[in-house]
Amino acid sequence: MKLITQICTFSLLIFGSKAAVDRNWWKHATMYEVFLKSFKDSNGDGIGDIKGVTSKLDYFVDIGVDTVWITPYFPSSGADGGYDITDFYGIDSTYGTMEDFDELLREMKRRGLNFIMDLVINHSSDEHEWFQKSIKKIDPYTDYYIWVDPKGYNQNGEPIPPNNWVSIFNFTRPSSCWTWNEQRKQYYFHQFGIKQPDFDLRNENVKKEVKALMKFWLDKGVSAFRVDATPFFMEDSLLRDDVHIDALARWAAGTEDGFSYRLNHPDNIGFLNDLHLFLRQYDRKNKKETQSVMMAEAYGTIKVIMSYYGTAKMPAAHFPFNFRITTLKKYYDAHEMVDYLNVWLKNMPQGAAFSWALGNHDQGRIFQRFNKEYNYILLALVTMLPGTSQIYFGEELGQEMFDFAPQRAKDLWVERDHFRNPMQWENTLNAGFTSAAEPWIPLHPGYWNLNVEAQKNQPSSTLNYFKDLTTIRKTDIFKYGDLKLQTISKWIMAFSRTYNKSKYITVLNLGMESSIVDLHANIQDIPSTLTIAVASPNSGFTKGEKLSSTPNYPNLPVLRPHSAMVLTY
């Protein structure tokens, strides 16, 4: 039976010379998100903290991670998991002290690890000093936030909001994102919760504040910024009503009529360009050997997301996070998967840097939409494709979500706590996460069996499979190599990375049944024998094993369902 082969080639010249790549570490970083409250508790209060992260730095090195993104550690009012900040220059006492933070960065630098700070600049907490002064119209803070007069007053003399915009935290049950402040006699705007007033990012004084706080943390040793909530930075200056009151719900569902006058405004790009130029100036002034970077949390249509790269003349974010893999919702065959990935690859601007995310603190744990074996495919995709690879803590283990009792949740969206449950380190009290009687939210009850220590000692564990992937990911071929995506058969997908006449071929069985892998019939210039560099535990193969690529059945390899292997020669 003749096999249909689809080949897509991308020359990854974006990486340039080795010298440029060494400076631009972020273009091939293996990034790990630490949800701080759930990673490691050092003082026995049941909450993860900075010293806890410091105590586990060798773990990152061991599993091949070189870049760590830590969720907000700033003083907060506690309304939104740390994303409602009361002081952009401090450390929340729950997580430690500034001395603890300085120690963390020193120890990371000593191990060659990069630190990514969560830059939350769309809003602050309503308890922030700036907002309290803005209420009182104390300059220069008077217009730091978005204040608007009411549209009018109803028959009871009550103010009417300026328009029909609704809060992102309430788009399933629309409620206004305008809250009346009786003292100032105006509405303030909040894209998110009522305790998270939005900054007016068009205000020049606010822009100066943003650059000042970036400089403060860069001087501390921060390597990069993960820019939070980028699509919500700017709003329509005319405050026009959205056509649909549920515009955000439509947008979140991916419908074409999800346009909102307060989402992905074109002025966002100019604002990011200003910050991008600031980072360039900072690096030049301080003669930095490595580049300071901005990574944007961006959502929207593919065209909108690509706009956050900016242009050669007007660069914006160094890259927007690519949630393409994160948003998979069904089992794709090989042709569908190639097409799905190509939506991103074919729309990228010339010279742009790649990125691939597997999950984060808002996305959930993707592999729980599928069977457990599918995690092997997802890990191979996010690590073997070119560019920055980002995983969420515990995904290297296959850690699972836990739908515990709602009364134990702390987040305003209960469901988010279900995938923020603590890291499972070992088979001891509270999985080695804390010595407290109980952690801040419940652990998954299966931690006794699924934990770091158990998997470290199992050669066929998910953790050791991930380590094998990150080991070869550090080689030149995965930093500079070309990419070819191919369909070998309906359910077998392959993609090759080539550099200096060396090649790695990642093979995925996306199907529910074992399938023959006939590489020689579909991939040119490969020898008759290939070596397995990495094999998923369920593949039926082992690392170092030799495989035939010639079409001499039954000598051709048969790959088990939902498994992966990486071949080389």
pLDDT, tens digit, 9 for 90 and up, residues 480-535: 999 999 999 999 999 999 998 889 999 999 999 999 888 877 787 788 889 999 99
Predicted confidence at residue 536, as pLDDT, reads 97
390: number of CA atoms within 13 Å, CB side? 28
Predicted confidence at residue 19, as pLDDT, reads 40
Predicted confidence at residue 468, as pLDDT, reads 98
Q: Which of 297, 395, 417, 518 is catalytic?
A: 297
**Cβ(510)–Cβ(561) under 8 Å?**
no
Comparing 99-108, 119-128, 555-564, which segment has the lowest mean pLDDT? 555-564
Provide the b/e sequence for 209-242 (b: ≥16 CB within 10 Å): bbbebbeebbeeebbbbbbbbbbbbbbbeebeeb
228 catalytically annotated: yes
For residue 189, the SS3 value is: strand
Has residue 172 got a pLDDT over 70? Answer: no
Has residue 393 got a pLDDT over 80? Answer: yes
pLDDT, tens digit, 9 for 90 and up, residues 303-326: 999 999 999 999 999 999 999 998
Task: Tell the burial category of 139 from Cβ atoms under 10 Å away from its Cβ (0-12, 13-18, 19+).
Answer: exposed
Does the pTM exceed 0.85? yes
Q: Which of 103, 107, 228, 545 is catalytic?
A: 228
CA distance 248 to 40: 35
CA distance 19 to 522: 35
Q: Encoding tokens for residue 556? A: 């051709």
Has residue 3 got a pLDDT over 50? Answer: no
pLDDT, tens digit, 9 for 90 and up, residues 469-483: 999 999 999 999 999
Percentage of the chain modeled with pLDDT above 70: 93
86: number of CA atoms within 13 Å, CB side? 14
Band of pLDDT at residue 12, cut at 50, 70 and 90: very low
Mean predicted confidence (pLDDT) in 345-352: 92
CA distance 74 to 94: 9
CA distance 429 to 41: 13
pLDDT, tens digit, 9 for 90 and up, residues 427-443: 999 999 999 999 999 99
Q: Encoding tokens for residue 402? A: 């836990």
pLDDT, tens digit, 9 for 90 and up, residues 182-212: 999 999 999 999 999 999 999 999 999 999 9
Has residue 81 got a pLDDT over 50? Answer: yes
Predicted confidence at residue 85, as pLDDT, reads 98
87 catalytically annotated: no
Has residue 122 got a pLDDT over 70? Answer: yes
pLDDT, tens digit, 9 for 90 and up, residues 534-548: 999 999 999 999 987
